[in-house]
Amino acid sequence: MNSSTTTAATDSVSNGPQWYILKVAFNREDSIREALEKRIKLSNLKECFGEILVPTEDVVEFTRAGKRRVVKRKLYPGYLMIQMVINDDTWFLVRETPGIGDFTGTYGKPTPMTDADVERIVKLAHPDVDQEQAPKTSIPFRPGDRVRVKEGNFQSLEGDVDRIDEANGRVTVIINIFGRSTPVELDHWQIESL
């Protein structure tokens, strides 16, 4: 470990556990978190570690049949959040876990997250029961996308996406009807990309 890492370790020990971001293998966040938790459990370093998070949010998706389902979507694919004290032993344990790339930071020195960022992300990962919000609707279209209406009164007509209302799962599409551009509001599952 280099001198800047040793300085980070000394600073972190005096301040207690802090939150850090780890770069990990994409789409393996959950399995890497589990492997890291097992390694921590087997080591004598449990007191140096806190929570390990894969930040997610609930998102509403619709199947091709129009069925509504709520799924968890990773907020930061390829990253984990970990609460820990950095010293030579904890640094080695984390860095030697398969699938973990490195800590985020500058010049090889892990940079702790700010309290505001930690609070915002932890609140998303563990929403309060009182403040639980309705999940967002995942809409796979963007303004300007060319789409075809696959269901409803305007079936088979083509148009361009104008606006997206994620809160209600609706999409405004500009369709050319009788030579005029007409905005039509549709449920996002009623249209498909061209």
Any idea where the domains of the chain sit in the sequence? 3-136, 139-193
CATH topology of domain 139-193: SH3 type barrels. (2.30.30)
- Number of residues written out for the chain: 194
How confident is the model over 140-167, as a mean pLDDT?
88
Q: Which CATH number fits domain 3-136: 3.30.565.60, 3.40.47.10, 3.30.70.940, 3.40.50.1950?
A: 3.30.70.940
Percent of the chain with pLDDT over 90: 37
Its pTM stands at: 0.62
30 contacts 24 by C-beta, under 8 angstroms: no
Residue 117 has pLDDT above 60, yes or no: yes
The tens digit of pLDDT for each residue in 52-85 reads: 999 888 877 766 666 778 888 888 899 999 999 9
